[in-house]
Amino acid sequence: MTKYSAFALIALLPCVYLLPTQQDPVKQKEVAPTVIEDETGIAFPIWMDVFAENKEKTERHYLLGTGVREKYFIGVDVYGFAFYVEKEKALPKLKAAYNADLNMKKLLKDKAFHTAVMSDSYNKSMRWVMARDVDGEDVAEAFDEFLEPGIRKLAANDKEIQAGLKAMGEMRDYFASGELEEEDELIFLWETGGTMHTYLNGRKLGKITNVHLCYALFDVFVGFDPVDSGGRKSIYEGAVNMVKKAK
């Protein structure tokens, strides 16, 4: 049975992820309700407050859906993940792309809605909570495996490919040494303009600006060939519910 730290047992602490110069999160009063990712049993808040670069105030990101990353050949859960968006700016894109005549099966194949979910016009974030210990080099190799094909597919020319691969290498270096332990938490914040902020247990690992890297990482979870089809469906269902509730 997996045991969870304060990061996973989110009901015990406010959901605020800070840049180093910001205030202590324990001073925050509001606590988010949680949902449970079915397979791992990991709790995820239905919203979380994050600081975007050069902002004095937090912005609230709302949960769309959750899923799990498995090692398929041995059937072991690696981490639970959750996908969040900055709702006020995401809604216009999602509304414009949503076609009420499409059922979920067809919507999952709809390129326009996928484009809206992946738009660089609003901030979004991905939260992982580790379900087991993982060697850092294994994580780094996984980035190579999943991100390089996406970057090569998205880039328009060799210059863009090389820039994307360089950005991937920078992110890879975050994890190439050491180990991610069970209960560790990673936050990937995609800020508009193609900037990726990465946090480990609330500590900022770095900032990389490359839209192809951002797109390739998030597309692993919500693209047409996701690591967890059930997780992708959960995210799409959350996006549809967000649109319907806003009407």
Q: What is the pLDDT of residues 142-166, one digit of tens each?
A: 888 899 999 999 999 999 999 999 9
CA distance linking residue 184 with residue 197, whole number of Å = 17
- Per-residue model confidence (pLDDT) at position 8: 31
Radius of gyration, CA atoms only, the chain:
17
**Residue among 247, 246, 240, 244 at smallest CA distance from 108:** 240
- Given a cut of 70, whether residue 73 has pLDDT beyond it is no
Task: Give mean pLDDT, residues 67-88.
Answer: 89
Instruction: Work out the mean pLDDT of the chain and round it to a whole number.
Output: 86
Q: Which residues pair with 203 in a beta bridge?
A: 200
Three-state DSSP class for residue 207: strand
Burial (0-12, 13-18, 19+ Cβ within 10 Å), 117: buried
- Given a cut of 80, whether residue 15 has pLDDT beyond it is no
The pTM score is 0.86
CA distance linking residue 20 with residue 81, whole number of Å = 24
Across 19-46, b (16+ Cβ under 10 Å) vs e yields: eeeeeeeeeeeeebebbebebbebbbbe
- Per-residue model confidence (pLDDT) at position 56: 60
CB 26 within 8 A of CB 18: no
Residue 24 DSSP one-character state: P
* Tokens read off for 113: 């809605």
How long is the chain?
247
Q: Which band of pLDDT confidence, cut at 50, 70 and 90, is reported for residue 22?
A: very low
When mean pLDDT is compared across 32-46, 52-66, 156-170, 197-211, the lowest value belongs to 52-66
